[in-house]
Structure 1
Amino acid sequence: MRRLLLAATVAVLPAIVLGDDAKPQWFRLHAEGWFWYVEPPPAEETPPPDTPVDAAPPIDLDPMARVQQQRKALERAMALAVLEPTPEHLRAYLQLNQALMAQSQAFAETWKQVVWTTPSLDYGLVSPTGAAARTQADLKAAGQRTQLSTAADRYGLLFFFRGDCPFCHQFAPVLSRFATDHGFTVIPVSLDGGVLPEYPQPRSNFDAAARLEVSAYPAVYLLDPATRKVAPAVFGAVGYSELAQRLSAAIAALEDQAQGGLDVAGRLMP
């Protein structure tokens, strides 16, 4: 009786329950349970094709903004390290500071290379220091001496003074020595009839002083006898080197016919 019941049960089982190897499929799929229901796996989310994965934030290419960001980042890191001096915060600040120092070092090295290979940008050639400065000063002084000595063959010096002027007495020895060194002829003109030890026989030409509007003394004008033109050079008591510089400028003014000079039409000469 039991065998008949078992045979009848097997006969009525659906064909899909038995596999090719005559074993019930639910024995081989026992992990899914008795009700054959499997939860579907979650669908993978794929990013849109136009959105790059792990895209870096955009970098502001404006150099001013980038420098400002670096400065703010360093200040923020330092502030955090001061307020919360943990090893992590200090390490972050030091690393950022070291990176900026390396950036500054690269800038300095490139600066030197550009200056050394571009003479027009080398300030040391324009304003040298040390031995180079002394050499340049010597060359400049030598050139100035040559210029003045050459100019002395063409130009004369009009020297306006007063006998009661202490500054005139102070300046007269400087002018006398300068004229002797370079070969200039000095025409002394007294504004009050007084004399100076270096110039005991001055001329009294008040008309020339009035036409040149001499209002300060001592005063030195550069005179070109060939053209009867003059150029103002010195007002007040100055030293030897400054006298040379101012006369060099006056020479350049007379030689530049665009600037010309004051045409006195020979009235300065007796």
Structure 2
Amino acid sequence: MPVHASKAAWRLLAACAIANAACGLPPAKAQMTTAQTDALPRAETDERQDSFYCAERRLGYWFYCNRPKPPEQKSPAPAASATSQLDAITATLRELKAKAILEPTPANVTAYIRFQRAQLDRASLFSDVWQRAIWQDPELDYTLQRPVSTLGKRQWQDSRSAERNAAMAQLSERYGLFYFFAQSCGACEVMSPIVQSVASTWHIAVRAISTDGGPSRHFPNYTVETNQRSRMGLEPKVTPAVVLWDAQTGRPIPIGYGVMSADELQDRIYLLTSKEAGRDY
């Protein structure tokens, strides 16, 4: 066999032996070798690279030898509340107004007018949206309870009068009137016929009481006061005074002092006897 052929044969045999040894490794060992190779600490690799570039090659001028820190993420500032924004607008308006008054230059006056006009536009927009919201939501529309238009008000007043008259027709079954007057009282001369008219219309018993002992041509069957107003808890020095007496509960219900129209007197009696506080407003 030639020498060259012998050397080639030995080389082939060595290569086959190495290949067989590599191929003969168990799968687990092969995977472990790969895992160990991949599990090299990246920190050590980075340190070696930094040492190579920064220490040996001295390339710190062109490379970051000290890694830059990531920028700090600042949390966004909280949004200003609506109240603080409105306060700021008011403060700005007052400042511009004061400056325009104290230094009335064209620039200062113009700045105040422009800012004021912007706020008037803002207020007009609010008013418009307010009105539209009321139109579209009947629960917000107070005019359904108390109309303000001429036609709606007339209809409401007619309905209210009918309801009041129905209540007044049943009033005499439970209530009576105390009417305190004085002969020397000019307002009593005006109020006495009104009380007499309302009582006659609804057949309500009236007990007229003279606070000074003087007579009344409208109530000839009057009586002189014997401290009734104090016992009822009324103001003792004011006349005329009208008090409704509840015979069922035995308590007085003051209606009012001074001169009242017949319609107002009936309204007060109706409200105090038929409506709870807060139900009619």
CA contact (8 A) 1:190 1:205 kept: yes
Q: Quick one: which of 244, 247, 253 aligns to 1:225?
A: 247
Distance (whole Å) between structure 1 residues aligned to residue 82 and residue 225 of structure 2: 69
Count of aligned positions: 198
SS of 2:173's partner is: coil
Deviations 1:44-89 (A, max 9, x none): xxxxx99xxxxxxx996755677868xx8xx9xxxxxx76xxxxxx
Amino acid in the other structure paired with 1:115: I
Distance (whole Å) between structure 2 residues aligned to residue 118 and residue 152 of structure 1: 42
Match of residue 23 from structure 1: none
CA contact (8 A) 1:153 1:183 kept: no
- The question of 1:242 aligning with 2:264 is answered yes
Larger proportion of helix: 2
Deviations 1:194-221 (A, max 9, x none): 2211111212341434422551211111
Match of residue 156 from structure 1: 176
CA contact (8 A) 2:232 2:252 kept: no
- State the Cα distance separating 1:110 from its structure 2 match: 4.3
CA contact (8 A) 2:167 2:274 kept: no
Q: Quick one: which of 136, 142, 149 aligns to 1:130?
A: 149
Match of residue 114 from structure 1: 133
**Aligned CA distance change for structure 1 residues 115 and 226 (closer, same or farther; 3 Å):** closer
Deviations 1:173-210 (A, max 9, x none): 11111112222111112223222111112123414344
Match of residue 212 from structure 2: 192
Residue ranges of structure 2 left out of the alignment (5+ in a row): 1-69, 72-76, 97-105, 108-113
Distance (whole Å) between structure 1 residues aligned to residue 183 and residue 81 of structure 2: 70
Amino acid in the other structure paired with 2:175: Y
- The question of 1:169 aligning with 2:169 is answered no
Deviations 1:9-47 (A, max 9, x none): xxxxxxxxxxxxxxxxxxxxxxxxxxxxxxxxxxxxxxx
Match of residue 66 from structure 2: none
- State the Cα distance separating 1:155 from its structure 2 match: 0.7
Distance (whole Å) between structure 1 residues aligned to residue 211 and residue 83 of structure 2: 65
* TM-score computed with the length of structure 1 as normaliser: 0.53
* Aligned-residue identity in percent: 24
* TM-score computed with the length of structure 2 as normaliser: 0.52
CA contact (8 A) 1:233 1:249 kept: no
SS of 1:178's partner is: helix
Amino acid in the other structure paired with 2:269: L
- The question of 1:211 aligning with 2:231 is answered yes
Amino acid in the other structure paired with 1:147: A
SS of 1:152's partner is: helix
CA contact (8 A) 2:172 2:203 kept: yes
Structural mapping, 1:35-114, within 5 Å: 110-114=129-133
**Aligned CA distance change for structure 1 residues 182 and 63 (closer, same or farther; 3 Å):** same
Distance (whole Å) between structure 1 residues aligned to residue 179 and residue 79 of structure 2: 69
**Aligned CA distance change for structure 1 residues 100 and 194 (closer, same or farther; 3 Å):** closer
Distance (whole Å) between structure 2 residues aligned to residue 201 and residue 170 of structure 1: 18
Q: CA RMSD in A?
A: 4.7
Deviations 1:144-198 (A, max 9, x none): 2222222222211011112222111110011111112222111112223222111
SS of 2:221's partner is: coil
SS of 2:259's partner is: coil
Greater shift, 99-108 or 170-179, is seen at 99-108
Amino acid in the other structure paired with 1:224: D
- The question of 1:180 aligning with 2:200 is answered yes
**Aligned CA distance change for structure 1 residues 194 and 118 (closer, same or farther; 3 Å):** same
Distance (whole Å) between structure 1 residues aligned to residue 84 and residue 248 of structure 2: 66
CA contact (8 A) 1:219 1:235 kept: yes
CA contact (8 A) 1:222 1:233 kept: yes
Structural mapping, 1:138-153, within 5 Å: 138-153=158-173
Amino acid in the other structure paired with 2:160: K
